[in-house]
Structure 1
Amino acid sequence: MTAKKAFPTWLKGILIAVLIIGAFIGWKAYQIFWGPSVTDAQEYLYVHTNDSYESVLRRIRQENLVKDPEHFNIVAKAMDFPESVKAGRYKLTPGMSNRKLIGNLRAGLQDPVKLRFANIRLKENLAGLLGKSFEADSAQFSAILNNEAVAEQYGFTKDNFFAMFIPNTYNIYWNTSPDKVIERLNEEYKKFWTAERKGKAEKQNLTPIEVSILASIVRGEALHNDEMPQIAGLYLNRLKKGMLLQADPTVIFANNDFTIRRVLNKHLTIDNPYNTYRYKGLPPGPITMAPIVAIDAVLNPAQHDYIYMCAKEDFSGYHAFATTVTEHLVNARKFQKALDDRNIKK
């Protein structure tokens, strides 16, 4: 028998070296593509409309969003991301791999903004909130909110356009244009005004817009949600009787002075359609954004004969209600004395 030739030692060394190098390359590739990369420096990566790949990479470097920007760059080019940049707000999870992050960026898998709004007094306040929440700034949103043609497009006027916005939480993408944001909120408005709600409005001889206007007054008067149906019933009684609403919150709005704590005769003289001490019926538009609880209070008012109310002298935020002027004057004097005792003059 012939003896087997021994495997050359030098060849063994080469094979071992190749295996080590291959293992290192594989480990390195794994680290670059699939290993933990994203840091906890920021919660989101914002890619603006018309951003180039270079500007995105610059932001990633400047904000320390990944452990090694050069590794990110290698994977991005391997996955053709420089040709597929999509605007959006992308969630950054600490430890996320470059491949996962770039896959989300290429596919436009952004995280929507949870738009929450409530207790918004004026259109400019809403424009400010929208400007902070989306890519477009507040000036762009303000231009739309004050545009008569846009309001008419949705069946409103410039004055009552604010009635279209129902306070709630909405998921909308960060780079959605202002006109599309308004369009989306109009869709939510139409969903809110179900046949049942419209029927209740008609029963009160009001349109949905008028309900929101009255609800804004109810919101202005009520510090407690449980009193809203009572207040709504009172104002509906006044409307049915053809009486002036004489709502102090509308006077404050007309004077454009939200620091007023005590409405005085000098405030009542202003010639403004929002002054319900001078102008009969509802004002031209909401005096604040009406919350759902106030809208539903107008649609489901308490049934009573009250046509007067005055804040209680205990400053509890509740009101004393009355059916006659005599009763009301007694309540009013109690409250005025309480104001004087606390030296509240304006």
Structure 2
Amino acid sequence: MRRAMGVFLIWAAGMGLLAALLVGAGLAMHYWKQPLAQEATTVTVESGQSMPGIAASIHEVQPAIPARAIDWTARFRGQARSIQAGEYEIRPGERLASLLDRMVAGDVIEYRFTVPEGITAQGFLDRLAEAPRIRRTIEELTPEAVIESLDLPVDHLEGWLYPDTYQYPAGTSDRTLIKRAFRQMREALDAAWAARADDLPLDDPYEALILASVIEKETGISGERGEVAGVFVNRLRRGMRLQTDPTVIYGMGDDYDGRLYSRHLREDTPYNTYTRDGLPPTPIALPSAASIEAATRPAETDAFYFVADGTGGHAFSRTLKEHNRAVARWRIHQREQGDRP
């Protein structure tokens, strides 16, 4: 009798355990099928945060799923110790298993800010200051403060930040993105300089960067960059002044109001290539990879002059006489458009 009773108790305990497991499995399936959100929302995993803490954050988004169930699910799936820090989007209708998989993969929200080609280094920093979810570590975003804070091996920041669209997760520091931009420009310049054409009238990669910035400001037409570079290279070889308006404008700084007059071309500054020989002392903008390529591998041309042609491009001339005719046509176009300086 006692033996039978013992067998019965063991059987009953086993059935109870099985029932509990079935109930638990049923609840787990219910929770796993439960959508976390009907609309897109976010949840943040802090660096070093425990699994119970992460579960609590997810529970706040979907109170119908107990935090303990979320915690147990992550542990049951072997993911509790593999979740990466960051900000995650919970997609409409997404289930818990999908979110945990993406947290393990580090599929964090990516923010972005775009730096167009041809703006200045200060323009880059101004855009960075307005970019979302950046961790600010540099008190004043000026070229001088950046060089000092990051201990960059340059005297002047202009030209050294690569224009691009930068993607980053929330909490990325300003210095991280500046270092990335500086590294990309250095790599692009070094690669172009290593593959440069023979007999360039440039002494080092920095002079190539300066020339590239001038090319960038002179034309936004990709097919013209090489020929514009060829003109500048021809003038440098012959000892002619570059006589390019963008350098004058850069040298005017805040005094430039959008209009350039002939008197400005006569006012001497270190950047006035009408009054000074050779390249300006520093870049005048952030050049694109295409302009760097043009500066180091210019097109073969016999032109020494160019001027706007009224169509968005330029007319290139071999002699001053041809150039003067092109300038006259440009001035007629300006008058017709009512653009009298």
1:164 matched residue in structure 2: 160
Offset at 1:310? 1.2
Amino acid at match of 2:311: S
User: What are the within-5 Å matches in structure 2 for residues 178-257 of structure 1?
Assistant: 178-194=174-190, 197-200=193-196, 203-206=199-202, 207-256=204-253
Mapped to 2, the partners of 1:327 and 1:24 lie a distance apart of 91
Match of 2:196, as an amino acid?
Answer: K
Report the alpha carbon displacement of residue 45 of structure 1 after superposing the two structures with TM. Answer: 4.5
Q: 1:45 touches 1:91 (CA, 8 Å); kept in 2?
A: yes
Contact 2:31 2:65 in 1 (8 A): yes
In structure 2, the partner of 1:338 is: 333
Inter-CA distance 252–109: structure 2 relative to 1 (3 Å threshold): same
Counterpart residue number, 1:148: 147
Q: Give the RMSD, CA atoms, in angstroms.
A: 4.1
- TM-score for the superposition, normalised by structure 1: 0.73
Q: 1:310 to 1:195 in 2, by over 3 A?
A: closer
Aligned amino acid, residue 92 of structure 1: I
**Identical-pair percentage:** 25
Deviates more, 1:123-132 or 1:330-339: 123-132
- Supply the distance in 1 between the matched residues of 2:322 and 2:112 (Cα, whole angstroms): 48
Give the direction of change, closer, same or farther, for the CA distance of 1:35–1:70 in structure 2 (3 Å limit): closer
1:322 has 2:320 as partner: no
- Residue aligning to 2:11: none
- Aligned AA (1:71): I
Select 1:273's aligned residue among 270, 278, 284. Answer: 270
- The answer for unaligned runs of 5 or more in structure 1 is 1-14
2:121 maps to: 123
The farther-off stretch of 265-274 and 22-31 is: 22-31
Deviations 1:42-69 (A, max 9, x none): 4x545677999989967995xxxx4x24
d(CA) in 1 for partners of 2:296, 2:164: 18
Supply the distance in 1 between the matched residues of 2:178 and 2:260 (Cα, whole angstroms).
35
Contact kept, 8 Å, 1:76 with 1:82, in 2: the verdict is: no
In the TM superposition, residue 329 of structure 1 has moved relative to its aligned partner by 1.8
Counterparts of residues 69-84 of structure 1 (less than 5 Å)? 69=63, 71=65, 73-75=67-69, 77-78=71-72
The 5 A counterparts of 1:130-141 are 130-131=128-129, 132=131, 134-137=133-136
What is the CA–CA distance in structure 2 between the aligned matches of 1:89 and 1:96, rounded to whole Å?
A: 16
Task: Identify the residue that residue 31 of structure 2 maps to in structure 1.
Answer: 32
Structure 1 residues 49-88: aligned runs within 5 Å: 66=61, 68-69=62-63, 71=65, 73-75=67-69, 77-78=71-72, 87-88=85-86
Q: How big is each residue's C-alpha offset from its partner over 1:7-36, in whole Å with a ceiling of 9 and x where there is no partner?
A: xxxxxxxx99x96x8766533332334543
Match of 1:97 in 2: 95
- Number of residue pairs the alignment of both structures matches: 319
Partner residue in 1 for 2:7:
none
Name which of 305, 308, 318 aligns with 1:308: 305
> 1:12 maps to which residue?
none
CA-CA distance at 1:309 after TM superposition? 1.4
Which amino acid letter does the alignment assign opposite residue 321 of structure 2? T
3-state SS in 1 of match to 2:87? strand
Question: Aligned partners of 2:268, 2:38: CA distance in 1, in Å?
Answer: 59
Q: What CA distance in whole angstroms lies between the structure 2 residues aligned with 1:138 and 1:267?
A: 40
Q: Which moved more, 1:29-38 or 1:218-227?
A: 29-38
SS at match of 1:332: helix
Aligned-pair distance for 1:339?
0.8
- Rounded to whole Å, the distance in 2 between the matches of 1:338 and 1:124 is 34
Give the CA deviation at 1:109: 5.1
Query: Could you say if the C-alpha distance between residues 164 and 274 of structure 1 is closer, same or farther in structure 2, counting changes exceeding 3 Å?
Result: same
Question: In the TM superposition, what is the alpha-carbon distance from 1:269 to its structure 2 partner?
Answer: 4.3
| Alignment gaps of 5+ in structure 2 | 1-14
Using the alignment, how far apart are the partners of 2:123 and 2:169 within structure 1?
20
Which is worse superposed, 23-32 or 292-301? 23-32
